[in-house]
A and B are shown apart, each in its own frame.
Chain A
Amino acid sequence: MKKGFYLRLALDGMRKNRRLYLPYLLTCAGMVMMFYILYSLAYSPAVRNMRGGSTMAMILILGTVVMAIFALLFLLYTNSFLARRRNREFGLYNILGMNKGNLGRILLWETLLSALVSLLAGLACGLLFAKLAELFLAHMAGETVGYALTVEPRSILAAVLFFGVIFAVLLIVSLARVGISKPLDLLKSEAAGEKPPRANWILALLGLLILGAAYWLAVSIEAPLTALTVFFIAVVMVILATYLLFIAGSVALCKLLQKNKSYYYRSDHFVSVSSMTFRMKRNGAGLASICILATMVLVMLATTSCLYFGGENALRGECPYDVSFSLYCDHPEDCGPEAPERISELAHTLSGGREKDLTVYTLSGVSGLFRDGVLEMDGYSRFADLTSSASVLEKIRTVYLTPLSEYNRLMGTDYALEDGEALVWSSKKAYAYETLTFKGCEPIRIRGSVKDLPFRVPASETLVTMYCLIVPDWTARAAELHDFTAGLEDPLIKSDTLQLCSFDLPGVPDEEQIRITEEIVQSALDEQREAGLSFSTMSYKTRAANRTDFFSMYGSLFFLGIVLSIVFVAAAALIIYYKQLSEGYEDQRRFGIMQKVGMTVKEIKSAVNAQVLTVFFAPLLLAGLHLAFAFPFLHKIVRLFGVLNTPLLILTSVICFLAFALFYVFVYRSTARTYVAIVSAGEEGR
């Protein structure tokens, strides 16, 4: 009986406040659903069995963790919003003779009910949509999966446990809140927001400074990988600054406007500016949250979609030919023409004559630190990765030697050079020195430069500056370099000598390309064993096989970007909705007063509209600004992933921003109806 009583009170409270609770429960259920989907995909055997499935699973697990942290924080926030609205009711119960224990029991029931409803609804939808999500993911990764619906007990358990903990935390927080408050405070707490806001100039200025510094940091980052920590610091600073600006900065700005008497005391500014001050104080945190969520969505979608749609591009950069064989020679003097010729023949016969642009060329190369025309190889391996700082990366060069005879044959030119001379090709700035010296070898005199190479260079080679020297005495030069580097103490420094045999197979399906390549490899290995083809090792790369790897990674990143965006956007929508509600209740009263003092309904509506629009669209604009300043960094990140397509990134950024803005307007418009309903209900009541 007693128990039923508290349950009834809890149910009653939720029903009476359904305008607040319904969206809250929907959000909770949505979070449960998304969590279940991500978790079950991360551990789904179907995903693991795809090509690159382990990468995908890792990305998905990462996404689940982000999702989980976000769910906890966001539900804490919404719960505190609900609590503020409910406190009045609790204050009343308290004064009517309920002690805090009784209130606690109401809260307990409320939490249990919320948990039950959101878990049931969320899991039901999760089960339904997980398969859909799996199909979608598979499609993006260029894979196929079966249509059989599976139930993942393990994922259900994980969702129940995780959200059980979240709801327990929410309960504890609510209990603590009721526990420490006095009944009168409870009654008052909703009206407590009426104190006039004070401008906190220090915090406002701090916000500006931090934002400026964060932007500067983000823009000045040069090596994205080493600077990842720097970027995270910038992100934290941006978040902090956004909160400071929305909470303190906005109020300070309003106060500044109020100080300007001839601006403030005008009919079109007077009401807007003064009530804006209050609105900002109440909504600052919520708006800052919307801004942060919007920024996250924009950054995620812009980069992941750029990677996904730029993937083919990146793939072409990474694998400039459909099929490419590298034959490594032990020593430059062993590099005979037989092996690449044989591979070319095999390619021709096994592909049925469909090979195009077959190119064979010989390279010998080494990387080092470059200074004033001298390449220093010794000790270079300490820096030899991409995590090096920008200033070091600047100094690194990869230098290749290629025979002049081959160049002339492939390009149809007839350059003539003396021994010890070279033509140079540079991947970036033109080569500016008279000579190039591999430190410890004879200097090579640069006779001129060429614009084109007879073969396509993989994009990853050009992340650092690459020179290609075209030399007439290739064997001697390469041997000198080889012998010198072999004598160095550092075993990581060695010059590679290889012959490349690359070709395209236009119009041949991916699977067949892979098969043909494997046949060539098999035959070549057989012949090497039997007839002694002269190469020490052989490696090969097909664009077709790389494509699946690329798209399983970019596809799952994009997928995760979309899923998390949906979650964040839903969260932003809920905050907007709650803001509209509380704004509505506030304005209901003001509306009446202003009318009595002599404003027309139209004037009031336009004043209120102006404010509400400013309030809601400020976060969107700031999010756009954040995105703009994050752009250089994002650009470097996608470059690192091999997508060197700047216009594409600009395009995806702009499209994402526009799409998000459109969606935002939609949410705003539909929630504005609640606002209007509340305000006009007040009008009738007068």
Chain B
Amino acid sequence: MSILEVRDLRKVYTSRFGTQQVEALRRVNFSVEQGEYVAVMGESGSGKTTLLNLLAALDKPTSGTVLLDGVDTASLPEKDVAAFRRDHLGFVFQEFNLLDTFTLEDNIYLPLVLAGKSHKEMAERLAPLARELGIDGLLKKYPYEVSGGQKQRAAAARALITEPRILLADEPTGALDSRSTDELLSLFAQVNRRGQTIVMVTHSVKAASHATRVLFIRDGEVYHQLYRGKDTNEQLYQKISDTLTVLATGGEVR
């Protein structure tokens, strides 16, 4: 069974007085297998964030279903959804979303604390993870004291510490300089190699070129996908660029 299955997903935003409707997603179908690293590529406004919010059950679809480990998240009551999200999903956002009232360490502990874990267990889990992500020297600092790249790595640690079934990332490199971007992407590849399933949405070709599979989304529809196969990052990068060029010149993608 796929770890994530998306069937005929549709999302329509209605403005407050119902006067305007935006169809942010339509006819979205795809599935993700255990251990995959899927990138969803698209222009700004193409519906990527909407898709991710639906995957995470932060929002409800207008129609269609999202099955996570076979569970339809939209059908769960609010309080179970929160617990489900906490236990099964990890998040990384473009704008880090660290709480500035917590040290990096406490930010990372947050989901575990909510899950009622003991401090000892939390500390045991954090130590290897912090080393892997290269933030072990920064744990006592507050978000405002560290760089963007460091914040994003802390956010990744917060997402990974619950050992989630899927790591969801929304433009995780969007607010980073190129060096931090490279560091973060190689970290993602590294955790993927040890078996972590990742779904990342991005408009950056470079970010997408680290994935094992790339979905292309435009005007709310998935219209193409690429598999890495045996390609290197550079070769995948080239293929993605080509696909986008063909798209830009108006041709059909084979």
Residues on A facing B (Cβ under 8 Å):
194-196, 261-262, 265-267, 270-271, 274-275, 277-278, 590, 592-603
Contact A602 B106 (CB under 8 A): no
Contact A596 B93 (CB under 8 A): yes
**How distant is the Cα of A195 from the Cα of B103 in the complex, in angstroms?**
11
Contact A594 B83 (CB under 8 A): no
Contact B82 A590 (CB under 8 A): no
| A597 and B158 in contact, given A265-B122, A270-B113 (Cβ under 8 angstroms) | yes
Taking a contact as CB atoms closer than 8 A, the residue among A194, A265, A601 that contacts B100 in the complex is: A194
Task: Give the interface centre of B83, B85, B99 by most chain A CB atoms within 10 Å.
Answer: B99
Contact A600 B99 (CB under 8 A): no
How far, in Å, is A566 (CB) from chain B's closest CB? 37
Contact B99 A593 (CB under 8 A): yes
Known: A196-B101, A597-B86, A598-B86. 7 other contacts (CB 8 A): A261-B119, A274-B106, A278-B101, A590-B99, A594-B99, A597-B158, A600-B82
Contact A598 B114 (CB under 8 A): yes
| A598 and B111 in contact, given A590-B99, A603-B82 (Cβ under 8 angstroms) | yes
How far, in Å, is A44 (CB) from chain B's closest CB? 54
Taking a contact as CB atoms closer than 8 A, the residue among B56, B111, B118, B144 that contacts A194 in the complex is: B144
Contact A599 B114 (CB under 8 A): yes
Instruction: List B18-32 residues whose CB lies under 8 Å from chain A.
Output: none
**How distant is the Cα of A265 from the Cα of B109 in the complex, in angstroms?**
8
Task: Give the interface centre of A194, A196, A261, A598 by most chain B CB atoms within 10 Å.
Answer: A598
Give B106-117 as 1s and 0s: 1 = Cβ < 8 Å from A's Cβ atoms: 100111011110
Q: Is B91 on the interface with A (CB-CB < 8 A)?
A: yes
Chain B residues with CB under 8 A of A271: 110
| A597 and B91 in contact, given A194-B144, A195-B144 (Cβ under 8 angstroms) | yes
How far, in Å, is A150 (CB) from chain B's closest CB? 54
Write the chain A residue with the least CB distance to B91.
A596
18 A–B pairs (Cβ distance < 8 Å), ordered by A: A195-B142, A195-B144, A196-B142, A196-B144, A266-B113, A267-B113, A267-B114, A267-B115, A270-B113, A270-B114, A271-B110, A275-B99, A593-B98, A594-B99, A595-B82, A596-B97, A598-B114, A600-B78
Write the chain B residue with the least CB distance to A275.
B101
How far, in Å, is A123 (CB) from chain B's closest CB? 43
Write the chain B residue with the least CB distance to A269.
B113
Chain B residues with CB under 8 A of A278: 100-101
**How distant is the Cα of A313 from the Cα of B115 in the complex, in angstroms?**
64
**How distant is the Cα of A270 from the Cα of B114 in the complex, in angstroms?**
9
How far, in Å, is A677 (CB) from chain B's closest CB? 15
Chain A residues with CB under 8 A of B111: 597-598
Q: Is B185 on the interface with A (CB-CB < 8 A)?
A: no
Chain A residues with CB under 8 A of B97: 592-593, 596-597
Give B141-164 as 1s and 0s: 1 = Cβ < 8 Å from A's Cβ atoms: 010100000000000001000000
Q: Is B79 on the interface with A (CB-CB < 8 A)?
A: yes
**How distant is the Cα of A506 from the Cα of B234 in the complex, in angstroms?**
111
Contact B110 A270 (CB under 8 A): yes
How far, in Å, is B102 (CB) from chain A's closest CB? 5
Task: Give the interface centre of B103, B110, B142 by most chain A CB atoms within 10 Å.
Answer: B110
Taking a contact as CB atoms closer than 8 A, the residue among B83, B93, B100, B101 that contacts A598 in the complex is: B83
Write the chain A residue with the least CB distance to B83.
A598
- 6 closest Cβ contacts across the A-B interface? A598-B86, A600-B82, A275-B101, A265-B119, A593-B97, A270-B113
Give B35-68 as 1s and 0s: 1 = Cβ < 8 Å from A's Cβ atoms: 0000000000000000000001010000000000
Write the chain B residue with the least CB distance to A270.
B113
Write the chain B residue with the least CB distance to A601.
B78
How far, in Å, is B126 (CB) from chain A's closest CB? 12
Inter-chain contact count A-B, CB under 8 Å? 76
Task: Give the interface centre of B87, B101, B158 by most chain A CB atoms within 10 Å.
Answer: B101
Write the chain A residue with the least CB distance to B59.
A686
**How distant is the Cα of A196 from the Cα of B105 in the complex, in angstroms?**
14
How far, in Å, is B110 (CB) from chain A's closest CB? 6
Write the chain A residue with the least CB distance to B142.
A196
Chain B residues with CB under 8 A of A599: 82, 114
Contact B116 A267 (CB under 8 A): yes
Write the chain A residue with the least CB distance to B97.
A593
Contact B110 A597 (CB under 8 A): yes
How far, in Å, is B69 (CB) from chain A's closest CB? 16
Instruction: List B209-228 residues whose CB lies under 8 Å from chain A.
Output: none
How far, in Å, is A450 (CB) from chain B's closest CB? 73
Chain A residues with CB under 8 A of B78: 600-602
Task: Give the interface centre of B100, B106, B119 by most chain A CB atoms within 10 Å.
Answer: B100
Instruction: List B69-101 residues whose CB lies under 8 Å from chain A.
Output: 78-79, 81-83, 85-87, 91, 93, 97-101
Contact B58 A596 (CB under 8 A): yes
**How distant is the Cα of A164 from the Cα of B193 in the complex, in angstroms?**
73
Chain B residues with CB under 8 A of A195: 142, 144
Write the chain A residue with the least CB distance to B109.
A265
How far, in Å, is A256 (CB) from chain B's closest CB? 16
**How distant is the Cα of A524 from the Cα of B98 in the complex, in angstroms?**
93
How far, in Å, is B124 (CB) from chain A's closest CB? 13
Chain B residues with CB under 8 A of A596: 56, 58, 91, 93, 97
Chain B residues with CB under 8 A of A270: 106, 109-110, 113-114
How far, in Å, is B88 (CB) from chain A's closest CB? 10
| A595 and B58 in contact, given A266-B113, A600-B79 (Cβ under 8 angstroms) | yes
Chain A residues with CB under 8 A of B56: 596
Chain A residues with CB under 8 A of B119: 261-262, 265
Chain A residues with CB under 8 A of B98: 593
Contact B101 A265 (CB under 8 A): no
How far, in Å, is A128 (CB) from chain B's closest CB? 42
Chain B residues with CB under 8 A of A590: 99, 101
Task: Give the interface centre of A262, A265, A270, A271 by most chain B CB atoms within 10 Å.
Answer: A265
Contact B82 A274 (CB under 8 A): no
How far, in Å, is A192 (CB) from chain B's closest CB? 10
Contact B109 A598 (CB under 8 A): no
Chain A residues with CB under 8 A of B86: 597-598
Chain B residues with CB under 8 A of A196: 101, 103, 142, 144
**How distant is the Cα of A409 from the Cα of B240 in the complex, in angstroms?**
122
Write the chain B residue with the least CB distance to A195.
B144
**How distant is the Cα of A598 from the Cα of B116 in the complex, in angstroms?**
13
Chain B residues with CB under 8 A of A602: 78-79
How far, in Å, is A255 (CB) from chain B's closest CB? 12
**How distant is the Cα of A277 from the Cα of B81 in the complex, in angstroms?**
30
Chain A residues with CB under 8 A of B87: 598
Chain B residues with CB under 8 A of A274: 99, 101-102, 106
Write the chain A residue with the least CB distance to B58.
A596
How far, in Å, is B144 (CB) from chain A's closest CB? 5
